[in-house]
Amino acid sequence: EVQVVESGGGLVQPGRSLRLSCTASGFTFGDFAMSWFRQAPGKGLEWLAFIRTEVYGETTEYAASVKGRFTISRDDSKSIVYLQMNSLRAEDAAVYYCARGSTMIRGVITTFDIWGQGAVVTVSS
Amino acid sequence: QSALTQPASVSGSPGQSITISCTGTSSDVGGYNFVSWYQHHPGKAPKLIIFDVNNRPSGVSDRFSGSRSGDTASLTISGLQAEDEADYYCSSYTSTSTYYVFGIGTKVTVL
């Protein structure tokens, strides 16, 4: 079965760090770009970051809201994509999703076809 | 505030057809053929049901269809079934640095 599963969520104090993992299975992980999204309570989905494949140099893109604080990375040998989140704020509290980029045109993902169930991140003292 | 505008809720009786609108701008919905729709049952993984405006992934029921007119995309669910009760989100690639924009979601209720 093709799937991705997030882990690493939890309660963290403001200003601290947390690393989320997304483990993929059922497909050749290294062939696909991967991305992270989040959904805060009562709000819509928000794209955070994506990482291209090794063919594209594993280059990354970030939303302005997290650039400089969050880092996306991947380990193709383990089929895992990570989201390192630093200097967390109350407004970062959300359900975090990872998703597979099924189609890439000129280095940009155009479709996200496989999503995980999400990992809950709570930021509170 | 989400970049794409969707109605908060839509309802219909079993067997009926409903349509959910998703309004953006020429920088996103109206400018690119990269509009997607997702079905989300709370607590589960979002499911891609429409991509590239009007294409269905393999395995998705043909009761789901997508279209676009100008800056507004639409998702139609025909032959409404109880299992269709869920939240539906539209998304589009955007030429801004945001890369992707979403609607806030539409809650579909089957009466």
Residue B1 predicted with pLDDT over 60: no
CA atoms within 13 A on the CB side of B31: 13
Decide if A111 and B52 are in contact by the 8 Å CB cutoff. yes
Residue pLDDT tens, chain A, 125 long: 999 999 999 999 999 999 999 999 999 999 999 999 999 998 889 999 999 999 999 999 999 999 999 999 999 999 999 999 999 999 999 999 999 999 888 888 889 999 999 999 999 99
Interstrand relation of A18-25 and B86-93 (parallel, antiparallel or unpaired): unpaired
A111: nearest CB among B2, B36, B104: B36
3-class DSSP state of A102 = strand
Measured distance CA(B93)–CA(B3) in Å, rounded:
11
In chain A, what residues touch B102 (CB-CB under 8 Å)?
Answer: 44-47
Decide if A115 and B45 are in contact by the 8 Å CB cutoff. yes
Decide if A115 and B38 are in contact by the 8 Å CB cutoff. yes
